[in-house]
Amino acid sequence: MAGMDQGTRLPPPFQSLLASRYGELAALRAYPSSHLATIIADVGFHCDCCARCCTREFNGHVLLLDEDAMRIRACEPEALEPVPLLDFCDQHGTYYAPGYTIRSRGDPEGSCHFLKDRRCRIYEKRPAVCRVYPYMIHQEPDENGNVDWRQISGLDQHGEYNTTISGEDALLNALETKTFEEAVLVHEIAYLEYTGRYFLEHSLRHVRKRYDDGLRLSLAGAKIEVMVYFQGTFERWVIKAGTAAPKTIPG
């Protein structure tokens, strides 16, 4: 990959997605941290340890930054799996994912692998997304399709509100949140650029029918192979009957 011309024109799916991500990154960088700090202070969120945020039923999955995935892999590698929402499928039936998430415990709520008695077993080493939650700062469509900023997750659905948060603490939370959201976008941009070049180098193309057919068969128990972007390259995984396992041991 290193020998490829960085100016090479990427396939259309990657061009449009990259343009969108770069637009989001520019908007995020222009967003005043002080504005988010004001919202944080006004909301006054306080965690009451309900643990709802630690379930897929409430929050879906989380995309781990590479440093978080590395830390988890070092202590409990079995806790990692590819993110469940796959982006591309080439003409050979191989899927592509932007990174790792934390496995659920398999209970009806989809509790996090590290959740025990409503407490996190790795709280001091928890991922960045868990540290900033429920604060966020990204653009997404509302129920009417209108795209606007979202700064608080699960408002009035968990936790306590109207507690006092100092201006200094609110600003620190805002800065940490903005740093995290920027890291996510930078990761996604790197993933799209690398995958686009990988497709060019290997004469691959995204095939929507192959994507849909493969996912349908996987729901019936067939296996699919997934290339997971991690630390600037791909790691190959196999998913069968809802269970993911690395095809080769990394490193």
Residue 232 located in a structural domain: yes
Q: What is the pLDDT of residues 206-226, one digit of tens each?
A: 999 999 999 999 999 999 999
Locate all alpha helices (DSSP H) within 31-166, ordered by sequence: 33-43, 56-59, 66-75, 128-132
On whether residue 142 sits in a domain, the answer given is: no
Residue 219 in domain: yes
Domain count, the chain: 1
Nearest to 103 by CA among 55, 51, 33, 143: 55
Tell me, what's the pLDDT at 9? 84
pLDDT score, position 1: 45
Is 150 inside a domain boundary? no
| Cα–Cα distance, 158 to 166 (Å, whole number) | 21
Q: Which of 247, 231, 245, 6 is nearest to 99 (CA)?
A: 231
Report if residue 144 sits inside a domain.
Answer: no
pTM over 0.75: yes
Instruction: Give every residue of the chain whose pLDDT is below 70, as ranges.
Output: 1-8, 248-251
Give 164-194 pLDDT, tens digit per residue. Answer: 999 999 999 999 999 999 999 999 999 999 9
Establish if 114 belongs to a structural domain.
yes
The residue range of the domain holding 120 is 12-31+49-133+172-246
* Residue 196 belongs to some domain of the structure: yes
Per-residue model confidence (pLDDT) at position 47: 92
233 within a domain of the structure (yes/no): yes
In this structure, the number of other CB atoms found within 10 A of the CB of residue 164 comes to 8
